Amino acid sequence: MKPKPVKDLARAFAIQAAELCANTRCHNVVLLDVRALSPVCDYLVIASGTSKRQMLTVAADLAELGKENNYSPYRTSGQESEQWVLVDFVHVVAHVFNDESRRFYDLDNLWGDAPRVEWETVKS
């Protein structure tokens, strides 16, 4: 059996990350395919959290999910913040915002040319 290409693994992991965010009380979870637009990463997961504590929990859970899937986080940022926590897995970058910061930074619109991945109906 042939191993899956890295791009397929990144997509599968991005979908798992989006599902984890949704299952840990994040709302408005979006998964963007930025492969054609970004030289930095392949997928962006963007989610809104409900509180600093919840956002930190989601970030920690994402880091654990990454380790379990050979996607250990390259870098995390914002653990001291109540606005935005970022977990960078190189091919996949997850952003967990509070509602106000999500509206302010508006990554959904900034990356508006990126196709959305319909992760809720995809079975990886």
Domains and CATH numbers, the chain: 6-111 (3.30.460.10)
Residues contacting 59, CB < 8 A, separation 6+: 76, 78, 79, 85, 87, 94, 96
Q: In angstroms, rounded to a whole number, what is the distance separating the alpha carbons of residues 113 and 121?
A: 21
- Side chain identity, residue 97: F
pLDDT: is 6 or 20 the higher one? 20
pLDDT of the residue at 3? 54
pLDDT band at 81 (very low <50, low <70, confident <90, very high): confident
Mean pLDDT across 47-57: 96
Residue 13 above 60 pLDDT? yes
Q: What is the pTM of this model?
A: 0.90
Other beta carbons less than 10 A from residue 46's beta carbon: 23
